[in-house]
């Protein structure tokens, strides 16, 4: 029987414009801090609603608003609902996912912090993070040069990699965002599907680590 890895890696499947991910990312950050030096986290972009071109209709807005209210009730985080007052609300999550993937290439250690900043910009500040100029402003405090970010963000290669990551996440079997998997030589092991609190998440992680590798 092989021992569990000394530094296991979690795969955090998320989307910067996912309300439940906004609530759950602080839990992941606390888990990483609690397991400092004993656990790594790789952020995977799940593509909640990518490539949208048409504005949301009233029924779609209502469903989304209910989802946001539920996430707010669980997470107790601030939400700005001005998004739903716009006449032309196009809910395209691909650019924000691509921005996060770009950060992962340029500054992988910043992925979780940038994700947190994107969440806050969209849900708490009401900014449209599907717009390139807004993404640039959100990333500015992290010291990533604008020209370097755009040089990667706007390439066909990063567009392709973003789409491929959406396909990888689907192949893994992710049906809910957020989801957390334990990376494993025989394939990712599901740790958590949907929002959960830190004690439950840590318990599931410990149980998964007890299964022989």
Helix (H, G, I), strand (E, B) or coil at 175: coil
Residues 6+ apart with CB under 8 A from 124: 77, 78, 79, 80
Q: What per-residue confidence (pLDDT) applies to 69? A: 97
Indicate whether 151 belongs to any domain: yes
Average pLDDT over the chain reads: 95
Q: Are 13 and 44 in contact (CB under 8 A)?
A: yes
CATH number for position 25: 3.40.30.10
CA atoms within 13 A on the CB side of 169: 26
Indicate whether 2 belongs to any domain: no
C-alpha to C-alpha distance for 203 and 213, rounded to whole angstroms:
18
Which pLDDT tens digit goes with each residue over 121-134?
Answer: 999 999 999 999 99
Count the domains in the chain: 1
Indicate whether 197 belongs to any domain: yes
Indicate whether 131 belongs to any domain: yes
Percent with pLDDT over 70 in the chain: 97
Which pLDDT tens digit goes with each residue over 43-53?
Answer: 999 999 999 99
The reported pTM is 0.95
Q: What per-residue confidence (pLDDT) applies to 3? A: 62
Identify the helix (H) or strand (E) that includes residue 13.
strand 9-14
Domain that holds residue 135: 9-210
C-alpha to C-alpha distance for 191 and 146, rounded to whole angstroms:
36
């Amino acid at each position: 029987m092989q021992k569990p890895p000394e530094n296991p890696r979690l795969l955090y499947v998320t989307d910067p414009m996912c309300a439940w991910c906004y609530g759950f990312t602080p839990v992941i950050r606390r888990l990483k801090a609690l397991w400092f030096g004993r656990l790594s986290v790789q952020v995977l972009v799940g593509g909640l609603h990518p490539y949208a071109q048409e504005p949301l209709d009233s029924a779609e807005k209502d469903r989304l608003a209910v989802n946001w209210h539920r996430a707010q009730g669980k997470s107790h985080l601030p939400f700005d609902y001005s998004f739903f007052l716009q006449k032309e609300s196009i809910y395209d999550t691909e650019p924000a996912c691509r921005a996060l993937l770009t950060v992962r290439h340029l500054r992988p250690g910043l992925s979780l912090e940038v994700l947190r900043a994107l969440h806050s910009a969209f849900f708490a500040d009401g900014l449209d993070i599907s717009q390139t100029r807004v993404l640039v402003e959100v990333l500015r405090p992290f010291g990533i040069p604008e020209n370097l970010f755009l040089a990667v963000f706007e390439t066909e290669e990063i567009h392709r990699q973003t789409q491929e990551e959406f396909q990888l996440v689907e192949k893994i079997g992710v049906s809910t965002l957020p989801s957390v998997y334990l990376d494993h030589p025989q394939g990712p092991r599901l740790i958590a599907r949907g929002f959960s609190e830190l004690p439950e998440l840590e318990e599931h992680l410990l149980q998964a680590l007890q299964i022989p590798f």
